[in-house]
Structure 1
Amino acid sequence: MTHTNCPRCGGRLARDNDSGRCTPCQAAERDRMGAPPAVPASFWNHEPVRQALASRHLGRVIRAYRFHPYHGRTALSQTVVAGWLGITQAQLSRVENGPPVVHLDRLAHWAKILGIPNALLWFSLPDVGLDPSRQAASWPGLPEPDRHNHGNLVGPPATPASSEASTKEVVTTDRRQFHTLAALAGLGSMGEWGFLATPADESPAIGLEHVRLATSLVKEFRQADAVAGANQLCDIAIHVHGRLSSWAAKARYSRDVAEALQASLADLAAQTAWLAIDAGRRAAARPYLNDAITRARLADDSQVEVRALAQLALLNGDSQPTESLHCADAALRISAGWATPRLRTLLHLRRACAFAALQDRSAFEREMRKARQELERGPHESDPEFIHFVNFQEVQGLEALSFLALDQPRRAAEALRDAITTASPAHRRNQVYYRVRLAEATHREGDVNEAALMALDLLPEVKQMNSRRVTRHLADIRSTLGQVTRPTTPVRNFIEAFDGEAV
């Protein structure tokens, strides 16, 4: 193996260095996810960047920026750069691959964020105004970003202000109780949350930098939910969604900001809906999904609309399978032409589950084949963040749940065992959920003692998991085992432990 040089500082790399960066540069770039790095003047002399600038197409410039070797051997993802620009990943994809952006304020805003030298631009930057990537940015009455926390919002929450409430109203809450909820939800890194307890301005103004901060919340909620579940997290999301929606209804913002703002709030509404589903508040989820679809259409953000429709398919899966199928079909139509393989995997899985609930076995098997074929095509750089959970485990798990709906518990148990053995540490909640469903499948196979032993073993983990969806299924097992005419020792032990723990 030959020595190579670090593209950032020019230093020689060790023979065993496969990251493309020397150790000091890796340390200096650990926070690059929060804001664009300060690049040297030579950065802009890279031939692909020069060609993109010459084309006068900022989308091509952004793509060349993402793939610059200065960032290491792995290009910056669209999701990361979109977060800097205050837009969604889907919007950035359209910017990069669509016609040139012509709105001067948007061109100037993004050029300043990326630090493109004025002399290389084909338009003039305004002489005044804050650089949102370098200056503190906060919603009117909302928090300034924590400079040690990658731009996350900070401060204690409050009950969301009603849209009819006075804009001078100060909303208060029990700070200690909220901090407990935030800690349980895994959001302790988000600080004091003081912004939701501050007075509102008479005429707030919102810019793209504020949209970027709101967008970052969705990622925080998604990551915390995957690890810990949504019980307490749902309360936080409802507070935040209500308050930010109230601000948006009162705020002043340009036409360019409007699209990004509506897309950001649509994504937040969809995330809140999912948290409500996992927290066992299924009825509460539907209004948020309706809100997400409405805002996504206002923003012309088909990606968020498809996400909301996929969640509606999930929400209707058990009680209204025909409606679930219609939602999945609509999502496939809307995403035709741009959906990535993993997104198509999810939508075919939604159709498969609906057909299983309708007892249409041949249609179920057809959709499962399509889902597996799409999954085998692998990940794509344009994969939206909300499908982070779509992997082999999810395919196996949803196939198993469909087998339960088709009254095939043996096949369900086999698929669940496969799902459990391919678990990802980042999706701890799903791992526990599928283990609970395996205990259910084992009981339905007729092995009552084994089901009781599995359920007893799961009890401590379920108690720690903040997901009423998981808890409900374990409670169903407890109820079913309680009907056993002659309970065995394992059955009695589980029932006593479950009742004593008050899960």
Structure 2
Amino acid sequence: MVPASFWDHEPVRLALAERHLGRVIRAYRCHPYHGRVALPQSVVAGWLGITQAQLSRVENGPPLVHLDRLTHWAQLLRIPAVCLWFGLPDQPYRAGIRVVEMGSDRPPSLRKIDHRGLPAETATVEGASTGGGGVTDRRRFNILAALTGLAAAGHPYLLASPTNAPGTIGMEQVRLAGSLVNDLRQADATVGADQLCDVAIQVHARLSAWAAKANYSREVGDALQGALADLGIQAAWLAVDAERRPEARPFLNEAITRARIADDPRVEVRALALLSLLLRESQPGESLHCAEAAMRVSAGWATPRLSTLLHLRKAHAYAVLRDASGFSREMTKARRELDRGPHDDDPGFVDFVDEQELNGIQGLSNLALGRPERAAQSFRAITANPSPVYRRNQVLYTIDLADAAYQQGDTNEAARIALDVLPAVSQMNSGRVSRNLAQVRAKRAAPGNATTTTRQFVDAYDRAVSM
């Protein structure tokens, strides 16, 4: 173990401030503590379980965003949690735009919704029950705290008005925008988008306005277009999860344009994949076309997990179109690609593409095809193996399991599942989660559904949204 002063060495501190674990590893290897000769890449690569060539790409390539790999390598190198920009298992998560301990024991908000499933104002409420929701971390996201975190990191540019911003943009500011996208992505995976959405929209607007007036090199300009596109895509996704869907498409249209200007096909594919998701319920035919376009753009370089995501987008669109054969064909391809495993070149936005996501899309598609029994099997596979990272998706699919049980005619089981997941919903900041649970509540309150269990759920739900 290295001494505590090891982490105060200037190159290490700068690499940590840049939120680039590859550069942190390089600074670690070259630290004077190890003597005049740096630790060889081959040695450190062996510690990390990768090849020397892979470590070279990690050190010199774009920042890592895969949370599992970040946490695993940080633990192997014994980097103090206080130095990191992401959370380690069983330790507080405090750096940058992160969960902030607020001092209150109140959980995050359960979005108020009426019994038709329509979102109303967001209100902070206690969970309807103190049991059944797993470990409650009593944390919540706060917009002001998130923005303060950016300023505290020494980069106030994204918070200033364009008239007060510097006249020149450099790679440092572009990297900051990229790190913010990673922060937003990781935070959203935990609790949802309601409060994060405004952060992303505000920063995107200010960076866009600044970019329109500032000077920068051709190299910075290309990177800036990609960063603005990536930030716009993240804002669009947060708008989807916050049930602000009409705000999402303009960001995606702009992102596709910027990605083409920057000749950045990876960003373009991410925008098209999200556009496919946005349109799959209202315009499934166009959703299918977007997924096919993403496949064309990524032909020749798509990793297995990216291919899995695009096949899942097509599968769900086919299901909404009631094309069972098209759905089955794409699900088979998605399964085959997922079985090929992760890849070093996986883009960060496919981190969530795993067995849970495949089962979830299969379940949702079977619901769309009128097959609640098959859907329930998929959703039960998810609840039997919960993800410690993607809690919001876990909660969503649990609510879908309740809906599948209801469609099978088992109202008691549906109410029991919904009652058990209610405390977890109280920890989310996701309008999408709240809407889905409201729709479940509306069905439980229908005539003929009045049993002891359904009444318990309806009463608990109504108490939660009225507080």
Alignment TM class, shorter chain as reference: 0.7 to 0.9
Find the aligned partners of 1:271 and 1:26 in 2 and give their Cα distance: 37
Find the aligned partners of 2:306 and 2:184 in 1 and give their Cα distance: 20
Identical-pair percentage? 51
Find the residue that maps to 2:47 and give its secondary structure.
Answer: coil
C-alpha change, 1:280 and 1:451, in structure 2 (3 Å) is: same
Look up the match of 2:100: none
- Asked whether the 8 Å contact 2:272–2:294 carries over to 1, the reply is yes
C-alpha change, 1:187 and 1:367, in structure 2 (3 Å) is: farther
Aligned with 1:379 (options 337, 342, 361): 342
- Asked whether the 8 Å contact 1:345–1:371 carries over to 2, the reply is yes
Aligned pairs for 1:43-192 (under 5 A) are: 43=38, 68-70=42-44, 73-74=47-48, 75-76=54-55, 78=57, 81-83=60-62, 181-182=141-142, 190=150, 192=152
| 1:389 maps onto 2:352 in alignment | yes
- Asked whether the 8 Å contact 2:178–2:227 carries over to 1, the reply is yes
Give the TM-score, by structure 2 length: 0.74
C-alpha change, 1:81 and 1:230, in structure 2 (3 Å) is: farther
- Amino acid across the alignment from 2:252: L
- Asked whether the 8 Å contact 1:393–1:420 carries over to 2, the reply is no
- Asked whether the 8 Å contact 1:214–1:264 carries over to 2, the reply is yes
Find the aligned partners of 1:283 and 1:189 in 2 and give their Cα distance: 29
Aligned pairs for 1:4-23 (under 5 A) are: none
Look up the match of 1:305: 268
Look up the match of 1:348: 311
Cα deviation per residue 1:285-308 (whole Å; 9 max; x = unaligned)?
A: 101111111111111110010001
- Asked whether the 8 Å contact 2:191–2:430 carries over to 1, the reply is yes
Instruction: Point out where structure 2 has 5 or more consecutive residues left out of the alignment.
Output: 49-53, 67-81, 87-94, 98-138
Find the aligned partners of 2:440 and 2:381 in 1 and give their Cα distance: 21
- Amino acid across the alignment from 1:496: D
C-alpha change, 1:180 and 1:406, in structure 2 (3 Å) is: closer
- Asked whether the 8 Å contact 1:432–1:462 carries over to 2, the reply is yes
- Asked whether the 8 Å contact 2:418–2:457 carries over to 1, the reply is yes
Tell me the CA shift for residue 69 of structure 1. 3.2
Find the residue that maps to 1:426 and give its secondary structure.
Answer: coil
C-alpha change, 1:484 and 1:424, in structure 2 (3 Å) is: same
Tell me the CA shift for residue 42 of structure 1. 3.7
Look up the match of 2:187: 224
- Asked whether the 8 Å contact 2:269–2:297 carries over to 1, the reply is yes
Tell me the CA shift for residue 424 of structure 1. 1.9
Look up the match of 2:378: 415
Find the aligned partners of 1:394 and 1:202 in 2 and give their Cα distance: 41
Tell me the CA shift for residue 27 of structure 1. 7.4
Tell me the CA shift for residue 485 of structure 1. 2.8
RMSD: 3.2
Find the aligned partners of 2:277 and 2:432 in 1 and give their Cα distance: 13
Find the aligned partners of 2:225 and 2:259 in 1 and give their Cα distance: 7
Look up the match of 2:132: none
Look up the match of 1:478: 441
Find the aligned partners of 1:309 and 1:279 in 2 and give their Cα distance: 20
Aligned pairs for 1:256-275 (under 5 A) are: 256-275=219-238
* Structure with bigger gyration radius: 1
- Asked whether the 8 Å contact 2:147–2:199 carries over to 1, the reply is no
Look up the match of 1:236: 199
- Asked whether the 8 Å contact 1:88–1:260 carries over to 2, the reply is no
Figure out how many residues of one structure are paired with residues of the other and give that number: 379
C-alpha change, 1:256 and 1:245, in structure 2 (3 Å) is: same
- Asked whether the 8 Å contact 1:227–1:427 carries over to 2, the reply is yes
C-alpha change, 1:25 and 1:181, in structure 2 (3 Å) is: closer
- Asked whether the 8 Å contact 1:345–1:390 carries over to 2, the reply is yes
Find the aligned partners of 2:144 and 2:351 in 1 and give their Cα distance: 22
Look up the match of 1:405: 368
Aligned pairs for 1:454-465 (under 5 A) are: 454-465=417-428
Cα deviation per residue 1:283-333 (whole Å; 9 max; x = unaligned)?
A: 111011111111111111100100010001100111101000000000000
Aligned pairs for 1:277-356 (under 5 A) are: 277-356=240-319
- Asked whether the 8 Å contact 2:162–2:206 carries over to 1, the reply is no
C-alpha change, 1:419 and 1:304, in structure 2 (3 Å) is: same
Look up the match of 2:175: 212
Look up the match of 1:358: 321
Find the residue that maps to 1:425 and give its secondary structure.
Answer: coil
Find the aligned partners of 2:394 and 2:243 in 1 and give their Cα distance: 18
Find the residue that maps to 1:362 and give its secondary structure.
Answer: helix
| 1:370 maps onto 2:333 in alignment | yes
C-alpha change, 1:81 and 1:445, in structure 2 (3 Å) is: farther
